[in-house]
A and B are shown apart, each in its own frame.
Chain A
Amino acid sequence: MAESMKDKIAVIGMGCSQVGELWNMDADDLIVDATYKALADAGVELKNIEAAWVGVATSCATGASISSPLQLQYIPVTRVENACATGTEAIRNAAFSVIAKVYDLVLVVGYEKLKDSGFGGLGRGGVEKPHPVYGDGQAVGRGPGHYALTATRYFHRYGLGPEEGKGLLAKISVKSHYNGFRNPSAHLRREVSLDTVINAPIISWPLGLYDCCGVTDGAAAAIICRTEDVKTYAQNHKNDYITIKGIGISIGPGWGKQSMEYDFTHWEETERATAQAYKMAGITDPRRELDLAEVHDCFSISELIVYESAGYCEKGKAKDYINGGAFIQADQPRLRGLLGDKEDEPLPMEGQLPVNISGGLKSFGHPVGASGCRELYEIYTQIQGKAELPSRQLKTPKLGMTHNQGGHPGKFMCSSLIAGLPE
């Protein structure tokens, strides 16, 4: 039996670039900003980095995409790609190299520069080269459509009428925008009301504009070493570093759209990837054991089904948990009001797990290759108690998880990472 990687790897410095529609910044700017912030945070000099991993999802990049802007001097640099799981994939491979003691101190960078295409949405293709006729060959940015198929089916399966279903999804987006509004780093900083979300223009029915995440430029970087070496390398965080408790990656066989077996109401790869991560981390009741979760909410329905597939609640029960306030902080009267609840009544559901306190992909933004690293940055910052504004700082969180799923329902590349204070 292979060993768990729990607590073997320490994250000793992290940085996140500005994110958003950054017309005046290119990939090099994002990479340099994120990396230098991480180096400064760790107190590490770039020349001491022995190897680097870079995650970027949508362009034909190589290791040179970071070695050139950073002027890395002939060290090994590996580019990885696994759709939206790319950022976590970069962390995972870098972690393996350190656990194997091939290197002691390595850099991880995830980045994406999307806003040079001249059109909204993502570019053509996606997971793999689409078939010229029966693939989504011409379907530029069909992400909303793919997820909308699952929303239609989820509503049907669980007897939610169109209004009830859209209203339920809207609560997720209202929550994420509320969180993102309070995060100075987020891309789409605006509170929205339930009515705004429900009545927004339809992108791919039943998903409207506010059910869809932003298309975002950004980068995030991490400096990692073995936990046993923290005192050697971590100049600034000798005591408040975090460790990786577990990482799960699941790549499905991809037949969901081609087989009557798939129900379109659960994320199989998320179940598998989170199960791997929970097992390494020793988690059995994620909603109660985790203090925060950053999950893949490229679309509102994605987050709703993640609640069920990541085991935060039972299948088909997300509605009860959303309405019970299970995924918001307990004391947020303004958010309760936005969600249409009585502001001063206690939440009906016990055991809150705040999800996407950063704003999530929805409001913080989704720089694809960076998102896994960026989510870890939120966990890292919250555990260190260094959220930019006190209003969005959770009270003494100790354990968090990230989650990303790329591709589309029926064919996911899914990653999940658990990180927290060292034991």
Chain B
Amino acid sequence: MVGITSYGAYIPLYRLSRDEISRAWSRPNAGGEKAVANVDEDSITMAVEAVIDCLTGMDRELIDGLYLATTTAPYKEKLCASIVAVAADLRKEQFFAADFTSSVRAGTMAMKASIDAIKGGSAKKVIVAASDRRVPAPNSEFEPLFGDSAAAFVFGDSDVAVNIEGNYSISSEFMDIWRRDGDKFPRTWEDRFVLEEGYQKLLQQAVSGLMNKYSLTPKDFTKAIFYAPTARSHAAMARSLGFDAKTQVQDPMFATVGNTGTAFVPMMLVAALEEAKPGDKLLLANYGDGADCYILVVTEQIENIRDRRGIKRHLASKSILPNYEKYILFRDLMEWEFERRPPAASSLSWIWRDRAQVYRLHGQKCRRCGWVQFPRQRVCINCQAKDDFEDVSIADKKGNLFTFTHDERAMVPILPEIMCEIDFGDGLRLYCPMTDRDPEKVEIGMSVEMTFRNIHEGADAHNYFWVCRPIRC
């Protein structure tokens, strides 16, 4: 049977307290906090994090394809899934990658496509990542609501941890939230129309359709995982569907993360799976331009995929932004006068030549002396042997901080930029910035890991690369 064989998630380190949004705009305070991507994070980089978490303990060579679901693709034209796949060091040959976009339901759409691909025999294992970093307009209803996150699942037909035992979908043309080409912020229509005529009716219709199709009642499910635009509408939907709010409803994390768009329902599913026991039956119901419903049944295999950062560990590892103004800086919501410096530059042909280093963070190991080096060399920096190297991955290595500086004059939005020399063993040392860090806690000898980030906009393109960060969690 086809089902989920692994799961993973990513929540950015930074959180913004809703007190701060309330303070900034003198608006009512919904309470809690929302997850905020760092300045160097976008839907691609968060998807990479979730995918790598999801691939913990798995052979990456066995993955046949990757689907990326997002409404905030960093490229309007140009595949984003291919960047996620290469950063996750997935296979090159006999591999397919595709983006699923334009609806917050894109995550379950991609799930369906991957299940169908496996059932149809064109793939054995497909990874689906759902990631969103939606930017709500300042002082809007959406602003306190929207958070940033990502989740990922591997679908396959062996070692299945969660069987897919049924599904029911509705497609609907309904304008509740949209962005036209060129719109920076999401737009919407009058809230009662959007909720009562759209969300409430459509999701109930889809869940009823599923229940009728498989002759099930709410009592048959251990947990219900379903979309809702707000905490209030989520609670109301639980009542309408007939689930017991205390025992049967998966926490939608409005108080801790926010509505994370395409990642929202997938994240709730990851959280549910972290707690699930073999035999549990889960309802998964996603909404957006229609609805997708799934019946999921947890197997014994779930116990073998526990060791992940997932939701729980990522949630516990956080740093609260000091104020709303910092959030404005993070999301680039004002015009800034930077110091007069030349504009960012890049070379896309150069990056292409070095793609194994830039995207996969492959270094090379000298076959003569064993010295690992980055960037690539023709002649070994240790023994001067020529052209005698093999590729090695650095992305999953942990290193120690050898030395560092707080650069207060760097051309980055968040100062200081902490430039580091990281020792990885086997001779390898890397020079890179440190992200997601508290400058006060940076010290020689600390452990760091590598993370894939969007580091600048030279050549009018996103320039992705790996930087270090303190071991996250």
Contact = CB atoms under 8 A, between A and B. Distances in A.
Nearest to B358: A133
Interface stretch (B57-65, B104-112, B402-410): B402-410
A205 B421 contact: no
Interface string B433-473: 00000000000100000000001101100011100000000
A108 to B, nearest CB: 31
Interface residues on chain A, size class: 35 or more
A134 B406 contact: no
A119 B429 contact: no
Nearest to A255: B381
A132 B463 contact: yes
Nearest to B342: A124
A134 B358 contact: yes
Contacts of B358: 133-134
Nearest to A119: B340
Given A205-B416, A259-B381, A260-B428, A134 B409 contact: no
Contacts of A132: 345-347, 350-351, 458-459, 463
A120 B344 CA distance: 17
B273 to A, nearest CB: 36
B305 interface: no
Interface residues on chain B, size class: 35 or more
Contact of A152 (B345, B430, B444, B459): B444
Contact of A204 (B347, B381, B407, B429): B407
A149 B407 CA distance: 10
B411 A140 contact: yes
A63 interface: no
Given A121-B409, A123-B342, A140-B342, A149 B404 contact: yes
Contact of A133 (B341, B423, B463): B463
B346 A133 contact: yes
B427 interface: yes
B432 interface: yes
B342 A259 contact: no
A21 to B, nearest CB: 15
A395 interface: no
B382 interface: yes
Interface string B86-120: 00000000000000000000000000000000000
A131 interface: yes
Contacts of B463: 132-133
Interface string A248-260: 0000010101111
A119 B339 contact: yes
B224 to A, nearest CB: 45
A64 interface: no
A153 interface: yes
A201 B407 CA distance: 12
Contacts of A145: 405, 407, 410, 417, 419
Interface in A251-305: 253, 255, 257-262, 264
Contact of A257 (B339, B342, B431, B464): B431
A140 B341 contact: yes
B373 A138 contact: no
B431 A139 contact: no
Contacts of A201: 408
Interface in A134-186: 134, 137-142, 144-145, 148-153, 156
Contacts of A260: 402, 423, 425, 427-429
B374 interface: yes
A152 B458 contact: no
A158 B258 CA distance: 49
A118 interface: yes
A153 B402 contact: yes
A147 to B, nearest CB: 8
A145 B344 CA distance: 19
Nearest to B374: A258
Given A123-B342, A131-B350, A203-B408, A259 B403 contact: no
A202 interface: yes
B166 interface: no
Contacts of B242: none
A137 B374 contact: no
Interface string B330-360: 0000000001111011110011001001100
A395 to B, nearest CB: 41
B74 to A, nearest CB: 15
Interface in A219-266: 253, 255, 257-262, 264
B375 interface: yes
Contacts of B341: 119, 140
A203 B409 CA distance: 6
A150 B347 contact: no
B421 A264 contact: yes
Contacts of B429: 257-260, 262
B406 A204 contact: yes
Contacts of A137: 344-346, 456, 458
Given A260-B428, A260-B429, A156 B403 contact: yes
A6 to B, nearest CB: 33
B344 A138 contact: yes
Interface in A180-215: 201-207
Interface string B372-406: 01110000011000000000000000000011111
B408 to A, nearest CB: 5
A118 B340 contact: yes
A258 B430 contact: yes
Closest 7 CB pairs of A and B: A148-B405, A205-B406, A153-B403, A255-B381, A132-B346, A133-B465, A145-B407
Given A132-B347, A204-B408, 19 more contacts: A119-B342, A120-B339, A132-B345, A132-B351, A137-B345, A138-B345, A138-B411, A140-B341, A144-B407, A149-B403, A152-B405, A203-B408, A203-B409, A204-B416, A205-B416, A258-B430, A259-B371, A260-B423, A264-B402
Interface of A: 118-121, 123-124, 131-134, 137-142, 144-145, 148-153, 156, 201-207, 253, 255, 257-262, 264
16 contacts: A119-B342, A132-B458, A133-B463, A134-B375, A139-B407, A140-B411, A148-B405, A150-B403, A156-B403, A253-B381, A255-B373, A258-B374, A258-B431, A259-B371, A260-B402, A262-B429
